[in-house]
Amino acid sequence: MKLLHTGDLHLGKNLHETSLLEDQRAMLDGLEAELSRDDYAALLIAGDVYDRTIPPAEAVELFSGFLVRVRKNHPDLRIGVIPGNHDSARRLSYADRILGEQGIHIVCNPEDSFNPIIIDKSGERLALFLLPFLAPGTLAPGTRGTAANGATAASAPNAGSSRAVAAEPEFDFGTADAAGPKLLATQADLAAEAARRFGIALDRGDMAELPAVLVAHCLTLAGLHSESERVFLGTAEEISPALFSRFTYVALGHLHRSQKITPRMYYSGSPLAYAFDEAGTRKNFLKVEIDCAAQNGNASARDFPVTVTPIPVVPLHPVTRLSGSFEDFYNGHAHDSHAAEYLEITLTDDSLVANPVNLLRPKFPNLLSLRQGLLADEREGAVSASDGHKGENGKVSAPDAAKRDPVADFEAFETMLHGNVDPARKELFAALLAECADTDNRADANGSVNR
């Protein structure tokens, strides 16, 4: 059975204040073209459909039009969608029951994740589990009522419909009894509880021989980051891939670089580059082929053969970083082939150039970010192209953020608010700041995290 895996569409996203809507429209056209190219049983979208919880109307129109077109042109294709951390789960779940009847499965409440969708195509069967981004409090701790439901599900194969139990997703943070267990808040705790409940579902008698696929939006240990993700602090937000090792394949979203975590667990990555640090990286959808008929001797391990093939996405405008002297760009022709691309240019001149953005824009209309060589080594040296013309004689001064003391800023802020500084709050702030710095250092040591 063939599945097409994508995620992190971030519809409605801007890159340096430039709308990417036309790029996203072209990307979705490419996605539909790929669906026509092969005999796919399902399209899996692993979260971050939209870039914001309240997406621009044009982005909603774009996704709605895409679903309608795919439904019309591929009537048998199943579509599985989950919300990511950028989506509003409740808004994304609009009309989900009716869409579900149309084979468009949008699961927005994690409590509904443990009753799989069975996909049946050309005599092959597969169980599809959709796990939304686990926001704090969206999954009840196992010792409460839900565990009893889970136990029932384990002993009576067809009784475990969590959809029936959680009739209305409320996402209520305040439902725990005062005496009851604490709400699950960290990704590690939430994922462990999800894994426990998946275990119960997979042990059901009717699931024994079926390949099982999970779609999830989370951060796994050992994944590589990029600038356009929303960054979590601390390791409590990372989960172990081993938690989901019972699945035949896990289609992940959240990290924007396409990557393999285990032979059965991949991030498709975002289909377009959404930050300049993704310039030049390969963007793709993933074609996942599962040989559902193969018997590998141990059916309960669900180790049906899986083949994952990247399907390259051809962007409308590639995202490109270039560097050279101002003269190279202004009068030279070496970079002319990049004229239509989304560009971040670093000028390597020894002196600052006045108004470089205004001068280069006629030739490079999609110049979105410009760094001046003298400043380029500092993080603050990057200026948005739209701000690049500010400053006297085009001189762009780097903000002195690096020299500032955040604790002093905090004190000033507290004084402004309350007239004095609570020593306990100041101490807590300093401790949290130190923790952030540790995370930064750890990330820099890995050489993999950029903010």
Q: Which is nearer to Mn ion, 48 or 277 (CB)?
A: 48
With CB atoms as reference, the residue minimizing the distance to Mn ion is 48
CB 6 within 8 A of CB 40: no
Q: How far is the CB of 46 from Mn ion (least distance, A)?
A: 9
Q: How far is the CB of 312 from Mn ion (least distance, A)?
A: 20
Sole residue written with tokens 């992190």: 8
Q: Which is nearer to Mn ion, 48 or 341 (CB)?
A: 48
121: three-class secondary structure by DSSP:
strand
Nearest Cα to Cα of residue 188 among 248, 157, 232: 232
Q: How far is the CB of 450 from Mn ion (least distance, A)?
A: 15
Q: Cα–Cα distance between 228 and 6 in angstroms, integer? A: 16
Neighbours of 445 (CB within 10 A): 9
Would you say how long the chain is, in residues? 451
Nearest Cα to Cα of residue 32 among 18, 43, 45: 43
Q: Which is nearer to Mn ion, 227 or 414 (CB)?
A: 227
Q: How far is the CB of 232 from Mn ion (least distance, A)?
A: 12
Give the pair of three-digit tokens for residue 247. 């699945």
Residues that bind Mn ion (CB under 5 A): 8, 48
Q: How far is the CB of 275 from Mn ion (least distance, A)?
A: 11
CB 1 within 8 A of CB 124: yes
Q: Which is nearer to Mn ion, 48 or 96 (CB)?
A: 48
Q: Cα–Cα distance between 357 and 363 in angstroms, integer? A: 10
Sole residue written with tokens 């500032």: 404
Q: Cα–Cα distance between 198 and 192 in angstroms, integer? A: 10
Q: Which is nearer to Mn ion, 48 or 189 (CB)?
A: 48
Q: How far is the CB of 8 from Mn ion (least distance, A)?
A: 4
Q: Which is nearer to Mn ion, 19 or 348 (CB)?
A: 19
